[in-house]
Amino acid sequence: MMATSFAARGALDLAPALAVMLGANIGSTLITQILAFDIIAAAPILVLIGVVLFRSSGNGRPKNLGRVGIGLGLMLIALGALGRILAPMETAPALRTVLEALTGEPVLAVLIAGGLTWACHSSVAVVLLIASLAASGVIAPAASLALVLGANLGGTLPPLFEAGTGPARRLPLGNLLIRGAGFVIALPLLGIFAGLFAHIESAPARLVVNFHTAFNLALAVLFLPFTDRLEALLLRFIPDPPRPADPAKPIHLEPSALDSASVALANAARETLRMADMFEGMLRGAIEVFRSGDRRRAADISRTERIMDRLGAAIRRYLADIGDEQPLDDEDEGARGQEVLSAVINLEHAGDIVANNLLEFAARRARRGSGFPPALERAAEAADRGVRPAPAARFVAETTPAGDLDDHHEMTPHQEGAPHQYGKAGLRKEVQ
């Protein structure tokens, strides 16, 4: 899910995201390998250790490890309870009749397992259930492998249907295409695979989990060299959506990412960089206004400032929603949220200065026939030489913003191509 969000926002190219997805698929099979052993007795110990770490530690890695221990222990307890509930059903004559019928209907077995996996959002749990049924002798080896194929296909459906945008669907669709290709190749060979894996390890439950791991490992080996071509295919099938007509409408603030604080904070940071780009345009426009006194350009700057205010309000609401959906218990996440919020406030404040004080000052100087203030002269010369006048907005957003713009230095450009720090104090000094 995290790789899907990063790929949808452009923070991670689609081809590397596909590679990450292939590795994650293998990792989930290793979890199945571990849980296939009888380790349910360790569940209470994991919960106890997790609670102790969580309650005795401050924010940081020990507290997160405590969360992991609690979650893993509860998952093992739930799997044990599921096994005890299903134990009487495994010997039920009706279930045996249905499952035995799947031996000759592998496609039906795939559909049943795929639907069950989609419903419970966990291929790990379904594969472990299949292993339990195989161990009790309720289902034949070839049919159990068909169910494993269905669990792999069904595991791709929840992120595909829950994605909120077209770009967010690319990676889950790629996962579905890869596993679908593997399904087409493996389905006619299930009888051969059943005999082959039975020679490796005869226990029916181990046959199921070993095939699950081997299937995903084979897909990674086969498709890893072709991630670039698959990326091109997915981009052609799901192109980027057109930019919104309203520039004040957020692009990166996806509500579906609010369940993950780290992903949501990254979305807010990217939207803040959009504000930085707008502010950079305002600064360029201010230079033109000082040079030519263009009233139309001045009106555009004022309009951009209102757009920045609306976009900043949307980012602040999104940051508040992050805290509502998932409290920022982690110290780093809380600090990062404060940094993004500080950057937004600083950008809005700097935009107000440019759109109000600076343009008013430009109009006064134009009426008096005065030239540029020294700082803007240096910025204009840099622009004439092709040096990009990166504003304080980008400087603040890409570093660690904290405090008001008063904390930054006077309007002093650095050497060739380096960011210019436009501070509130420097602007006011030039305006007065």
pLDDT tens for residues 22-32? 988 898 888 88
Position 186 scores a pLDDT of 92
Nearest to 394 by CA among 242, 269, 265: 269
Choose between 309 and 357: higher pLDDT.
Answer: 309
pLDDT at 411 over 60: no
Look at residue 150 in the predicted model and tell me its pLDDT.
92
CA-to-CA distance for 371 and 366, rounded, in angstroms? 8
Q: Give residue 86's pLDDT.
A: 64
Axis crossing angle, helix 261-292 with helix 359-368, rounded to the nearest 10: 10
Residue 1 pLDDT more than 60? no
Please tell me the distance from the alpha carbon of residue 319 to that of residue 345, in angstroms, as a whole number. 13
Domain ranges in the chain are 12-32+91-237, 255-431
d(C-alpha 117, C-alpha 134), whole Å: 17
pLDDT-based confidence at 179, cuts 50/70/90?
very high
* Coil vs helix vs strand at 242: coil
For residue range 264-305, list pLDDT tens digits in order. Answer: 888 888 888 888 888 888 878 877 777 776 777 778 888 888
Helix (H) / strand (E) containing 292: helix 261-292
Written out in words, the top-level CATH class of the domain with range 255-431 is mainly alpha
382-392 confidence digits (pLDDT tens): 555 544 444 44
pTM of the model: 0.59
pLDDT of res. 394: 44
Identify the CA nearest to 209 among candidates 146, 313, 130: 130
